[in-house]
Amino acid sequence: MAGVPTKHHSKSKVGRRRSHLALVAQNLIVCKECGTAVKPHHYCANCGYYKGKEVKPRIAKLVEKKK
């Protein structure tokens, strides 16, 4: 029969395996241009700025070139 465990897994063994499955809260920063929450080291999807420079239109041009 498939799917039947052959050995018993103790609570501590299962807990040690699952210790890396915990969810971690995202670290967010405030965009200096528009004030929305943004992931660090990512451009703002709301205004298109990254480190005080507008980058969203440049990214859109690069995507169009690849097509």
Residue 28 lies inside a defined structural domain of this protein: yes
Residue 44 lies inside a defined structural domain of this protein: yes
Number of domains in the chain: 1
Structure confidence at residue 4 (pLDDT): 79
C-alpha 62/C-alpha 47 separation (Å) is: 18
Q: Which range marks the domain in which residue 47 is found? A: 24-66
Residue 16 lies inside a defined structural domain of this protein: no
pTM over 0.95: no
Residue 3 lies inside a defined structural domain of this protein: no
Convert the pLDDT of each residue in 10-37 to its tens digit.
999 999 999 999 999 999 999 998 899 9
Residue 6 lies inside a defined structural domain of this protein: no
Structure confidence at residue 46 (pLDDT): 86
Output the CA–CA distances (angstroms, integers) from residue 11 to 5, 19, 22, 27, 39, in the order listed.
Answer: 15, 12, 17, 32, 36
Structure confidence at residue 48 (pLDDT): 87
Convert the pLDDT of each residue in 44-62 to its tens digit.
888 888 988 888 776 666 7
